[in-house]
Amino acid sequence: MKTVVQRVARAEVRAGGEVVGRIARGLVLLVGVEKGDGETDADATARKVAALRIFPGRTPMDLTVAAAGGACLAISQFTLCATLAKGNRPSFEPAEEPGRAEALYLRVAAALRAGGLAVETGRFGADMAVELVNDGPVTFVLTVRGGRLVESSA
């Protein structure tokens, strides 16, 4: 499971011209579900996101999203699963089939909610427009496999 985590001053997502999710300060999560991902990956992703200390407090990276009074906007992003190795057209072969991908993406959102966070979502499978103000800018990429963080980058 790959997740792009962006610290934002505000963000919203529209589908069909309608706002379907909106947050003020918090995190935008672009969640890509790959073949082989499971519930343990979704749960580990949510735990890591909730525990990230990436909001300013006594230091520039001190507080979690909850401690900062923020919320999360989770958006399904299957293009994160693309392979660009061959030719110039992305291959989405690594992406999970839609039914399973939706269930795991929604599990990430549900796990964050269960941890006490306010969570908005996009509309799975829809053509969406995301508008955000990246705060910092602060952006990280989390990759979880087998229920464990295997890669993170900025």
Domain that holds residue 40: 2-153
CA gyration radius, the chain: 15
Domain count, the chain: 1
* Catalytic site positions: 77-79
Say whether pLDDT at 132 is over 80: yes
Q: What's the pTM value of the predicted model, to 2 decimals?
A: 0.95
Please report the pLDDT score of residue 64 as a whole number.
98
- ∠ at Cα 117 (110, 125), nearest 5°? 45
Rounded Cα–Cα distance for residues 92 and 114 (Å):
31
pLDDT at 153 over 90: no
CATH number assigned to the domain comprising residue 143: 3.50.80.10
Q: Which residue in 139, 118, 140 sits closest to 71, CA to CA?
A: 118
